[in-house]
Amino acid sequence: MLRLRPFAALFLLPAILILPLSAAQTGPATAPAEGVTTLPPAAITPTPTSAVTPAAPGVAPTPALPSSTSAPAPVVPGNPVVPVPPPASSGSASETRATPQGTPLPEGSEPEKSVVQIITAYQEPNWAAPWIFDSPHFASGTGFLIDGNRIMTNAHVVAWTKQLLVRKYHDPQRYFATVEFVAHDVDLAILKVDDPKFYEGMKPLQFGELPQVRSQVVTYGFPAGGQQISYTRGVVSRIEVESYAHPGNRAFLAVQTDAAINPGNSGGPVIQDDKVVGVAFEGLVGLQNTGFFIPTTMVRHFLTDIADGTYDGVPDSGLQMVSLQNPAFRDMLKLPEDSKRGVRVDRVMDIPSTEKLIKVDDVLMKIGDYDVDDDSTITYHGNTVGASVAFDLAQNNSTIPLEVWRDGALTHVDLPVKVYHDDYAQGNQYDTLPPYYIYGGLVFTPLSLDYLKSVGSATTQSGGRELIYELVYRHLEDPGHWRPQPVVLSSILDNEVNANLTTRGQALVDKINGQRIDSLSDVPKAFASATGPFDVVEFMPDHHFEVLRHTDAQKATPDILSTYSVPAQSRL
Amino acid sequence: MVLPGHLIITTADGLNDQTLIRLQKQGGGLFSLGRLLWIDYQSNLAALTTDESDFWNGLTPAALADPVPVNGEVRIRRWNSDRLENRPGDIERMTVDNSALSFVSVPALKVDSTISGASSGEAVTQGNKLLGLASGQDSDVVTAVPSSFISFTVAARKKGTFHGLGYFDFTWEPVENPLALQYLGLPGPARGVIVKDTGLKPGVTSLIHSRDVILQIDGFDIDAEGDYADPQYGKMMLENLSSRQKWAGADCKIKVWRDGKEQTIDYQLPRADYSDELVPEQSFDHPPDYVLAGGLVFVKLSDAFLRSWGANWRQHAPFRLGYYEIDKVKPDRSEIVVLSGVMPARVNLGYEMLHDCVVQEVNGVKIGKLADLVAALKSPVNGFDVFKFAPGESMEMAVLDASKIDETNQEIMTKFHIPADHVLSGNAATASQP
pLDDT of residue A428: 95
> In whole angstroms, what is the distance from residue A165 CA to residue A121 CA?
9
Same domain, A445 and A405: no
Same domain, A365 and A284: no
From the list B316, B319, B353, the residue facing A38 with the nearest CB is: B353
Same domain, B177 and B287: no
Q: Which residue is catalytic, options A137, A185, A187, A373? A: A187
| A83 in a structural domain | no
> In whole angstroms, what is the distance from residue B231 CA to residue B241 CA?
12
pLDDT value at A93 more than 80: no
Q: If residue A305 lies in a helix (H) or strand (E), which one and from where to where?
A: helix A296-305
Same domain, B8 and B145: yes
pLDDT-derived band at A478, boundaries 50, 70, 90? confident
Q: Where a domain ends, among A278, A308, A338?
A: A308
Same domain, A286 and A324: no
Report the chain B residue with the minimal C-alpha distance to residue A479.
Answer: B391
Same domain, B135 and B220: no
Same domain, A272 and A333: no
Pairing of strands A545-549, B7-10: unpaired
pLDDT value at A415 more than 60: yes
Same domain, A359 and A391: yes
Residue among A476, A492, A508 with most chain B CBs within 10 A, to mutate: A476
Contacts of B382 in chain A (CB under 8 A): 332
Q: What secondary structure does DSSP assign to A476-496, as a single string?
A: HH-GGG--SS-EEEEEE---T
pLDDT in tens, B409-421: 999 999 999 999 9
| B397 in a structural domain | yes
Same domain, A346 and A304: no
**Is A545 in CB contact (< 8 Å) with chain B?**
yes
What's the domain count of chain B? 3
| A443 in a structural domain | yes
pLDDT in tens, A324-346: 999 999 999 999 988 899 999 99
Domain residues for the domain of B379 are 277-429
| B396 in a structural domain | yes
Which CATH number do you get for residue B337? 3.20.190.20
**Is A37 in CB contact (< 8 Å) with chain B?**
yes
Q: Count interface pairs A-B at CB distance under 8 A.
A: 142
pLDDT of residue A482: 86
Quickly count: other Cβ atoms within 10 Å of residue A436's Cβ: 25
Give the 3-state secondary structure of residue A537: strand
Q: Where a domain ends, among B229, B249, B268?
A: B268
Same domain, A397 and A483: no
| A94 in a structural domain | no
The mean pLDDT of B375-398, rounded to a whole number, is 96
Pairing of strands B141-146, B170-173: unpaired
Same domain, A156 and A72: yes
pLDDT in tens, A280-318: 999 988 788 889 999 999 999 999 999 999 999 999 999
Contact status, residue B408 vs residue B345, Cβ threshold 8 Å: yes
Which CATH number do you get for residue A251? 2.40.10.120
DSSP E strand stretches across B312-364? 337-342, 357-362
pLDDT of residue A460: 62
**Is A118 in CB contact (< 8 Å) with chain B?**
no
Same domain, A442 and A532: yes
Asked, as a colleague might, if the bond just before A434 is cis with ω within 30 of 0, I would say no
Same domain, B281 and B263: no
| B434 in a structural domain | no
Q: Do A320 and B396 touch (CB under 8 A)?
A: yes
Same domain, A117 and A30: yes
Q: Where a domain ends, among A390, A417, A444?
A: A417
Single out the residue of A520, A538, A552 nearest to residue A437, CA to CA.
Answer: A520
pLDDT in tens, B373-385: 999 999 999 999 9
What's the domain count of chain A? 3
| B164 in a structural domain | no
Measure in Å the smallest separation between the Cα of A347 and chain B Cα atoms: 7
Half-sphere exposure of residue B138, counting CA atoms within 13 Å on the CB side? 5
| A93 in a structural domain | no
> In whole angstroms, what is the distance from residue B146 CA to residue B397 CA?
52
Which CATH number do you get for residue B193? 2.30.42.10
Domain residues for the domain of A452 are 434-571
Give the 3-state secondary structure of residue B83: strand
| B355 in a structural domain | yes
> In whole angstroms, what is the distance from residue B13 CA to residue B34 CA?
16
pLDDT of residue A229: 92
| A25 in a structural domain | yes
Contacts of A320 in chain B (CB under 8 A): 396
A32 strand-pairing partners: none
pLDDT value at B135 more than 80: yes
pLDDT of residue B204: 86
Interface pTM, i.e. ipTM: 0.90
Single out the residue of A284, A192, A196 nearest to residue A238, CA to CA.
Answer: A284
pLDDT in tens, B42-73: 999 999 999 999 999 999 999 999 999 999 99
Report the chain A residue with the minimal C-alpha distance to residue B320.
Answer: A469
Q: Is A421 designated active site?
A: no
Which CATH number do you get for residue A495? 3.20.190.20
pLDDT-derived band at B196, boundaries 50, 70, 90? very high
Q: Cα angle at A258 between A256 and A261, to 5 degrees?
A: 85
| A423 in a structural domain | no
Contacts of A323 in chain B (CB under 8 A): 350
| B24 in a structural domain | yes
Q: Which residue is catalytic, options A137, A156, A184, A246? A: A156
Contacts of A52 in chain B (CB under 8 A): none
Same domain, A408 and A446: no
Buried-state track A311-320, b at ≥16 Cβ within 10 A, e below 16? bebbbbbbbb
Contacts of A466 in chain B (CB under 8 A): 326
pLDDT-derived band at A166, boundaries 50, 70, 90? very high
**Which of A177-186, A466-475, B234-243, B394-403 is least confident?**
A466-475
> In whole angstroms, what is the distance from residue B374 CA to residue B431 CA?
12
Same domain, A491 and A403: no
pLDDT value at A455 more than 70: yes
Same domain, B249 and B287: no
Q: Do B309 and A41 touch (CB under 8 A)?
A: yes
Which CATH number do you get for residue A323? 2.30.42.10
| A86 in a structural domain | no
pLDDT-derived band at A53, boundaries 50, 70, 90? very low
Buried-state track B292-323, b at ≥16 Cβ within 10 A, e below 16? bbbbbbbbbbbebbbeebeeebbbbbbbbbbb
> In whole angstroms, what is the distance from residue B72 CA to residue B62 CA?
19
From the list A5, A327, A543, the residue facing B210 with the nearest CB is: A543
Percentage of the residues of chain A whose pLDDT score is greater than 70:
80
Kindly give the residue spans of alpha helices, DSSP state H, lying in B283-346: 303-306, 313-316, 319-323
Same domain, B287 and B249: no
pLDDT value at A39 more than 70: no
Q: Where a domain ends, among A417, A443, A476?
A: A417
**How far is Cα of residue A483 from the mean position of the Cα atoms in its chain?**
23
Same domain, B182 and B322: no
Same domain, B140 and B233: no
pLDDT value at A238 more than 90: yes
Q: Do B309 and A44 touch (CB under 8 A)?
A: yes
Same domain, B121 and B234: no
Q: Do A547 and B183 touch (CB under 8 A)?
A: yes
Q: For chain A, what percentages of helix, strand and coil (3-state, to nearest 5) are there?
A: 20, 35, 50
| A521 in a structural domain | yes
Same domain, B295 and B417: yes
Same domain, B257 and B287: no
Residue B393 burial by Cβ neighbours in a 10 Å radius (0-12, 13-18, 19+)? buried
Give the 3-state secondary structure of residue A306: helix
Q: Is A374 designated active site?
A: no
pLDDT of residue A78: 28
**Is A551 in CB contact (< 8 Å) with chain B?**
no
Q: Is A187 designated active site?
A: yes
pLDDT-derived band at B28, boundaries 50, 70, 90? confident
pLDDT in tens, B300-359: 999 999 999 999 998 899 999 999 999 999 999 999 999 999 999 999 999 999 999 999
Which CATH number do you get for residue B130? 2.40.10.120
| B165 in a structural domain | no
**How far is Cα of residue A265 from the mean position of the Cα atoms in its chain?**
18
> Average pLDDT of chain A?
83
Contacts of B350 in chain A (CB under 8 A): 323-326, 329
pLDDT of residue A110: 85
pLDDT of residue A108: 60
Output the CA torsion A56→A60→A64→A65 (10° steps): -130
Report the chain A residue with the minimal C-alpha distance to residue B352.
Answer: A326
pLDDT of residue A76: 25
pLDDT value at A192 more than 90: yes
Quickly count: other Cβ atoms within 10 Å of residue A288's Cβ: 6
Q: Where a domain ends, among B159, B187, B204?
A: B159
pLDDT-derived band at A107, boundaries 50, 70, 90? low
Q: Where a domain ends, among B239, B268, B297?
A: B268
Same domain, B184 and B325: no
